[in-house]
Structure 1
Amino acid sequence: MACRISELVLGCRDAEVLTRFWCEVLDFVVLDRMDDGSVEIGPREGFGGAQPTIILSVRDEPEPGKSRLHIDVNATDRDQDAELERLLKLGARPADIGQTGQEAWHVLQDPEGNQFCLLKARIKEL
């Protein structure tokens, strides 16, 4: 058996803002709060399930250069356009990384500027 992703770590200045954002986007819950202000969020069944958890790791200063973490999301219960509208209402913003406009995905930023993509295909809920 190979390894599989169990958690993703995302550096941030304000873990509470991103906790609210990503919990709404992914229908996650808070699993743990660390003494340094970092927060672990994930599916209701907790760590080790079918989906990885996300650790929102508090850092005083943003790391120089491009973020090394990139998250792709797929809608589960609506089409891409409806999901894009929902994400924008939650605080996501479009990100221009040189797209042509012909891509089947949307490049977005969360409230702190971390890029992620909304892919076209709808996937089944777990």
Structure 2
Amino acid sequence: MTLRIQCIDIDCLDPFAVAAFWQEALGWRRTHEEPDEIVLEPPAGSPQDGVAPDLLFLRVPDPTPGKNRLHLDLRPEDQDAEVARLISLGAQRVSVGQGDKVSWVVMADPEGNEFCVLRPLPPEQQA
């Protein structure tokens, strides 16, 4: 069987604001836009293009009811610099009970959708 994930859907009150945050955060391109939905894809011709799932931002009338059941883990080259950059774009650090001794940073986008910023990969694991 051949099966691949086409897109990850993100429910939000304001898809334009949330998509704008993620577009800037990831450097992805907007490939589809309607009043209630926006699609972001990796940059055309990049190694992720056609491989990484698209992000689909859908307008829903209800706010996030609590902790996300699914979230993105992001792997930067410099964790501290990336956390600072994401905060400047409108993200914030959040606590989900992770404690102080973890290697990742839990954050939320402008509508409270949680995601994690991981440590960089060790040099021997970088491609």
Amino acid in the other structure paired with 1:40: V
Once the two structures are TM-superposed, the CA of residue 15 in structure 1 deviates from its matched residue by 0.7
2:73 counterpart SS class: strand
TM-score (norm 2): 0.84
Residue in 2 that maps onto 1:55: 56
Distance 1:50 1:124 in 2: 18
> What's the counterpart of residue 11 of structure 1?
11
Identity %: 35
Q: Write out aligned runs for 1:1-126 (5 A).
A: 2-34=2-34, 36-45=35-44, 49-75=50-76, 78-122=77-121
C-alpha contact 1:6 1:48 (8 A) present in aligned 2: no
Find the aligned partners of 1:119 and 1:3 in 2 and give their Cα distance: 27
Whole-Å separation in 1 of the counterparts to 2:68 and 2:105: 17
Q: Aligned pair in 2 of structure 1 residues 57, 72: CA closer, same or farther (>3 Å)?
A: same
For 1:30 and 1:84, the matched residues in 2 are separated by 23
CA gap 1:45/1:124 in 2 versus in 1, 3 angstroms: farther
One-letter amino acid matched to 1:25: A
**Mean CA deviation greater in 45-54 or 14-23:** 45-54
Stretch moving more, 88-97 or 115-124: 115-124
Structure 2 spans left out of the alignment, 5+ residues: none
The runs of 5 or more residues in structure 1 that have no matched partner are none
Cα deviation 1:3-60 (Å, max 9, x = unaligned): 33221000000011111100011111111013x4211111133997121110001001
Task: Give the letter for the 1:109 counterpart.
Answer: A
Letter in 2 for 1:13: L
Give me the whole-angstrom Cα distance separating, in 1, the residues matched to 2:4 and 2:15: 25
Task: Provide the rounded CA distance (Å) in 2 between the counterparts of 1:124 and 1:25.
Answer: 21
